Amino acid sequence: MIKFFKSIKALLEGLFTVFKHLFKKSVTLQYPEERPNLPEKFRGGHTLSGCIGCGICQQVCPCRAINITKDNNQVVSYTINLRQCMFCGNCQYYCPVNAIKMEQNFELGTDSNDDLIKELVKENESGVDKQ
Amino acid sequence: MSKMKLNLGPQHPSTHGVLRLILDVDGEKILGCEPVIGYLHRGMEKMAEGMTYLQYLPTVDRVDYLSGFFNSFAFVSAVEKLLKIEVPERASIIRVLLMELNRIASHLLWLGTYLLDLGAVSPFFYTFRERELILNYFEKITGQRMMYNYFVFGGVRHDIEYLDEIPPIVKTIIEKLEDYEKLLTDNPIFLSRTKNTGVLTRGEALAYSITGPNLRASNSHLDFRTQSDLYKKFEFKIAKADEGDCYARYKVRLDEIRESAKIIYQAIDILQLRFGEINTGLKPLNLNIEAGEAFSDVETPRGLTTCCIKSDGSDKPYRVKWRTGSFYAVQLLPKLLIGNTLSDVMAIYGSLDVMLPEVDR
């Protein structure tokens, strides 16, 4: 009989613990309307500026996602294949001139596969005249 | 009743991964059980042979994705032994701090999903809410929530920041543990599902090479943290229970969260007082690793994880071998399940805290 009342007490205590949560603030983030507050070190989409084309990022990349083309020691093309990239941040950490950076951009989905191969050298920045 | 074979999984939601169990049942009673593993095999060991040490390091977090820091630590410390370098003191304390936070996060996830298996839905949301605090902190200092890639050969990547945010997080979690205990410890439904089910004696556990909380719930003191140099500076008790049933495993894990919290407070005290190097400044592309073998071990939330590396002097490992705790826990299933009823399968399997990515690697 004592055991029975003990069980009832434990069940009621449990119900009360759950019931308390009705009056607490919601913790869910209503994603498309509310944006997450991402930290500074977040590893998202890549940006490139001032690349010297040493190729260290290519060597440390576990997924072999980076491809660099050079012409007369100038970086003409720097592509990163986001289908392969695992966002480990090795390229950022081992870059000797801090050229490649991972930004807070995390919405990287696109309609086509080809769009996932990102060209990071902007036309006006490459040293070679493309015409 | 007629006897039949019952196929459980591999896509069963309670298997936390993909495990297939072939059960011989007579009505509700289980007469035989054969676990089939390998559905989550990614070739972590073979993959190492085609990658350099630096390339392999980020993938190591995926051996067990709920405790990435531990796997990273096992691999990194084995390579450090090959390189014969000393880790700075501050770096090793940062490692302990992060690993213990990771242990709390892992046990919280176990608690939530185990209760979900037993039919209690609300604790699942509560434990995930608390785990989120730790994951958000990890995101701030490492850049990602689960695949950290924060340890490097000879230390850690960056110095630790936002140290004063940890004590409030740990304090909240310890307070909330009381809430969970109110829900569970005397709950008659939880007690009848877990008490005296899946009893594992100390002798059987040792014979099956079980380590971690599963072993300590069976009246054993074996905790590899006490034997490691890393934890010598810290004082903590070994969480232990005598009964060896599912309820004992639950109690051990809850106690471990409290002990981890003690280690975290001590680590923060040291980090706030003493400053120093956080890595050896080693950033070479080709590590000059000599031929030889190195071995390292770490006590993870799921038992003993060891990493053994054989090097032939080139920039790629010749062979990497992983030993993980969950692999041995799966072997226990036929032993524990036979004689029980079908409704006990998930109660027993869940209590062992098996991670399938760790089993298949």
Query: B9 — alpha (psi -120 to 50), left (phi > 0) or beta?
Result: left
**How far apart are alpha carbons A125 and A123 in whole angstroms?**
5
| Closest-approach residue (CA) in chain A for B143 | A42
B237 lies within 8 A of chain A by CB: no
pTM, two decimals, is 0.88
Q: Which domain holds residue A76?
A: 2-119
Examine residue A78 and state whether it is found in any structural domain, yes or no: yes
Most A CBs within 10 A among B181, B187, B193, B320, hence the mutation to make, goes to B187
DSSP-based helix, strand, coil % in chain B, nearest 5: 50, 15, 35
Number of structural domains, chain A? Answer: 1
Across the interface, whether the CB atoms of A43 and B157 are under 8 A apart is answered no
What angle is formed at CA B305 by the lines to CA B355 and CA B320, rounded to 5 degrees? 105
Provide, rounded to the nearest whole percent, the portion of chain A with pLDDT above 70: 93
Are B91 and B278 spatial neighbours (Cβ–Cβ below 8 Å)? yes
**How far apart are alpha carbons B86 and B100 in whole angstroms?**
22
| Closest-approach residue (CA) in chain A for B54 | A60
ipTM over 0.90: no
Domains in chain B, please, with CATH? 3-360 (1.10.645.10)
* DSSP state for residue B245 in the 8-state scheme: S
CATH number of domain containing A35: 3.30.70.3270
**How far apart are alpha carbons B259 and A48 in whole angstroms?**
45
Read off the tokens for A24: 């607490």
Give the Å distances, CA to CA, from A81 to A50, A51, A66.
20, 17, 7
Across the interface, whether the CB atoms of A42 and B157 are under 8 A apart is answered no
**How far apart are alpha carbons B322 and B297 in whole angstroms?**
10
Read off the tokens for B353: 């805290």
Q: Taking CB atoms and an 8 Å cut-off, how many pairs form between chains A and B?
A: 77
B42 lies within 8 A of chain A by CB: no
Examine residue A125 and state whether it is found in any structural domain, yes or no: no
Asked whether residue B306 carries a pLDDT value surpassing 70, the answer given is yes
Provide, rounded to the nearest whole percent, the portion of chain B with pLDDT above 70: 98
* Shortest distance, CA B117 to any CA of chain A (angstroms): 18
DSSP-based helix, strand, coil % in chain A, nearest 5: 25, 20, 55
Alpha-helical runs (H) found in B118-164: 122-142
Question: Mean pLDDT over residues B143-165, rounded?
Answer: 86
Examine residue A38 and state whether it is found in any structural domain, yes or no: yes
Are B302 and B64 spatial neighbours (Cβ–Cβ below 8 Å)? yes
pLDDT tens for B210-259 read 998 999 888 888 888 888 888 888 888 888 888 888 889 998 999 999 99
**How far apart are alpha carbons B106 and B100 in whole angstroms?**
10
Across the interface, whether the CB atoms of B183 and A93 are under 8 A apart is answered no
Name the band, by pLDDT with cuts 50, 70 and 90, for residue A128: very low
